[in-house]
Chains A and B, each alone.
Chain A
Amino acid sequence: MADYLRDHHDKIVGRWSELVLAQVRGRTSLDEVRRELADLYSLIVRVLSDADDHAAGELRAALDELSRSRARDGYTPRETAIGMLALKEAVYEFVADTAELVPEFLVLSRMIDDLGLRTFEAYSAAREQIISDQSTSMLELSTPVVRLWEGIIAVPLVGTLDSARAQLVMEKLLDELVATSADHAVIDITGVPTVDTEVAQHLLKTAAAVRLLGAECTISGIRPQVAQTIVSLGIEFGDIATKANLADALALALRQAGMKVVPVA
């Protein structure tokens, strides 16, 4: 079988490429598909002819890489698996008339099924990686640390504050404090819909860490409903300054820095 496949390389790869292209029309060219499949094909032939020990590993690696790039390019799992499974059809068209090759074709067919399943695994692993990367970058996008004034930085929080995000906010804020030697950090929670005990704990820890570094921390943007919840939950902010809005927090920070805002003229 290995010899047969090697001898009919161009014809089978050509047919295989056509079959695959028919499924994913328009997203790639025949030449492109042909190039990708020819690599896989040579590796399959090497595995079948038992010529060397590395072929199986290389084939798996090449298939995984192809499946990953399919996942990144937005192909469906079906389109990705077809890319492998169509080889069966292509080979069958050539060997159907040659009775002595049929038993060997079964072996090849089983191997292709395995490889087809492997594309699924590699594809879904790649998708999960993409999703996890995206959620991390969204998390980072949603937590900018901004400079309000020389020595005063702020982080405006919008959305729910879960543990992962609270951790990220804390790290970014502290890194920024050290990087800019700012003396004052403001955490604005205007955009945080609810403050429960867990969120309050996160805020308190962040404020405590800011103080440990030697800077001041103010929490601003406490809306009336949030104030009511905080009090009814019995949460104590202790001696951490809280302000109704960001403007008041900035005024406090400026005052502590020994500055005053006065009208011109």
Chain B
Amino acid sequence: MERVPILKIGRTLFVSIQIELQDDTVVRLQEDLADELSATGARGVVIDITAVEIVDSFIGRMLSMIGSISRLFDAETVIVGMRPAVAITLTELGLSLNGVRTALNAEKGLELLNGKA
């Protein structure tokens, strides 16, 4: 099983998903992020999904859960780079990503975390 790497930049954890997401991979990412948040005391998580072609209800739920978990560590999660087709599909599916914030791109996501936006 492939793993999604987590980068720490300052007080932010940065995740860029570049692989086809399998259920196990997302569950693993959630666990890894919880470990990292607890170990580093990071205050924010940026998850870049520019390369992600689909987000179904399982992946969507996992993203929401990552948001809720980060909040327990007093950190905020921002999902950035969602493709328009993915957003349209999510609204049709009836899924709103509770617990996370969204931004158009990584730069805006970081601004959001730093309170500039």
Chain A positions within 8 Å of B, measured between CB atoms, are 170-171, 174-175, 177-178, 181, 183, 205, 208-215
* Inter-chain contact B96/A213, CB cutoff 8 Å: no
Give the most central of A183, A209, A211: most B CB within 10 Å: A209
> Which 9 A-B pairs give the minimum distances between C-beta atoms?
A174-B84, A214-B102, A214-B103, A212-B87, A209-B87, A208-B91, A205-B91, A209-B91, A214-B104
Q: Which residues of the other chain, B, contact A177 by a CB distance below 8 angstroms?
A: 84, 104
Let me know if B87 and A213 touch, CB within 8 A.
Answer: yes
Task: Report A-chain residues with C-beta under 8 Å of the C-beta of B78.
Answer: 214
What secondary structure prevails in chain B residues at the interface with A? mixed
Q: Contact size class for B?
A: 20 to 34
A239 to chain B, nearest CB (A): 12
The answer to whether B104 touches A171 (Cβ under 8 A) is no
B-to-A contact residues, CB < 8 Å: 78-80, 82-84, 87-88, 90-92, 96-97, 101-105, 108-109, 112, 117
With contacts A174-B84, A181-B108, A213-B87 known, is A208 near B102, CB below 8 A?
Answer: no
Looking at chain A's contact residues, is the secondary structure mostly helix, strand, loop, or mixed? helix
Closest to B107 in A: A181
Pair A209/B102 contact, Cβ less than 8 Å: no
* Distance to closest chain B CB from A131 (angstroms): 27
